[in-house]
Amino acid sequence: MSDIETAIRGGTIVTAEGAVRADLGIANGRIVAVAERITGASRDVDAGGLLVMPGGVDSHCHIEEPARGGYVSPGAGQEPAITVNEESFISASRSALAGGTTSVVCFVPQWKGEGLLPRLADYEARAKHAMVDHAFHQIITDPTDQVLHRDIPEIVGRGIRSLKVFLTYEPLHVSDADYLKVLVAARKHGCLVTVHCENYDAINWRIQELLKAGLTGPKYHAWARPPVVEREATHRAIALAELVDQPIQIFHVSCAEAAEEIARAQARGLKVWGETCPQYVTLTADDMARPGFEGAKFMCSPAPRTTEEHARIWEMIRRGVLDVVSSDHCAFSYEGPRGKRQNGADASFDMIPNGIPGFAARLPIIFSEGVSKGRISPETFVRLTSTNPARLMGLWPRKGGLHVGADADVTLWDPGAKRVLTNAAMQHAIDYTPYEGLEVTGWPVRVFRRGEEAMRDGEVTAPPGSGRYLPRGPYDLVKPRGITPNGFLA
């Protein structure tokens, strides 16, 4: 074993399959040995008393994403300005690494009236500054013939294997007819489809009725999008995917009603996966009812529910219905021209950008609320936050595990460390965290990305531009089942 560059010694290696006291050997950015004892390495890293886990894989995050007013309703008669998400690839990478995440999958936008390639070229240039390894989802808002028959084959050839659709929001929303077009194209080209499930027309109707009743504060964001609109859209998204035999993942499930739709689909043998996020086991609708404008800090979609719903989400996690936990980092500062107050401190809830920061908080919250409180095992934690997202996104076996041949993305975790979450600790570009003051047990103390130390005791050392793009080829997990109603396939 004399060719080993780094040996991580004395820790407990935790993977999705189990936990074992062993040493880890690294060379040329890859894991080359897992053994009871490794000697003769050029460098030894003492992991005594620590858990040695795969670097986190965050498969749902918005980074430096340009938008044409896509997050808030434009003012009457005004052309919405082009804005860029506040979180740059540099600041997002710093926050991700500070929280133990080494790989991300973020979103290339499509603007209605345009094809996919102009936005992709722009986004590829932005991503060159990243310190985390990264893959892309492609958002589809306007599935024209050009997009379906020319652009999608082109982006698949460039390593994008997941298409994102929104069943709500302007100007991102697609109709059922357009959703079906995307599903068929994805099936043809071997892509996963990821879906934001809320009922567009029901939400818009509810918003207008609330505004007419004078109910305008941040708390009414939750009233505008109750669980029933998420449940209905989840059912519909699954049914249409079943119609054309296309595997899908339901993003950011907030309630058991929606999760039960996924469970029923899984029981029928459909390739449907469910994801949730830390906000749905920590925040509640009551947070949006805080005095004044403070509730805007907690606005995201779907909306946070109740403490009772938290327990139901954990049960769905234990059942395996929800098998990925992402951050859905989609962040807006509280202050500033691009922040929550961009339309004024007295703006009605429909004019407040929704989305919250969560990169660095994701792993500590799920470890603390899950493992430290006895809800899940360390192995389940690894499955939820690293292995399952890597498998579902076609990044396995390169990412998400600690086996020979995998990239040496390693997080050393102190399971007994207690920390109080603060905005400074998050190391993002945003001026607040919705988790301010939350005490967690369990903390990442050291991170290696492809064998190189990227974070130690909160100090991120990876240089800008050192992250790598992760092109994805075809993979079996998202292959269609070959079953359609009557055997007919368009």
Confidence tier at 462 by pLDDT (50, 70, 90): very high
- pLDDT, tens only, 244-281: 999 999 999 999 999 999 999 999 999 999 999 999 99
End-to-end, the C-alpha distance of the chain in Å comes to: 55
- Closest by CA to 383, choosing from 57, 21, 27, 20, is 57
Q: Which CATH architecture has domain 56-372?
A: Alpha-Beta Barrel (3.20)
At residue 70, the pLDDT reads: 41
Rg, Å, the chain Cα set: 22
- pLDDT, tens only, 404-441: 999 999 999 999 999 999 999 999 999 999 999 999 99
At residue 1, the pLDDT reads: 45
For 384-404, b/e burial (b = at least 16 CB within 10 A) is: bbbbbbbbbbbbbebbbbbee
Average pLDDT, the chain: 95
At residue 85, the pLDDT reads: 86
At residue 82, the pLDDT reads: 61
Confidence tier at 490 by pLDDT (50, 70, 90): confident
pTM recorded for the entire structure: 0.96
In the chain, domain spans: 56-372
Confidence tier at 445 by pLDDT (50, 70, 90): very high
Tokens of residue 354, six digits: 């929704």
**C-alpha–C-alpha distance, residues 283 and 307, integer Å:** 8
The more confident residue out of 218 and 69 is 218
**C-alpha–C-alpha distance, residues 427 and 91, integer Å:** 7
pLDDT above 90 covers a percentage of the chain that reads 94
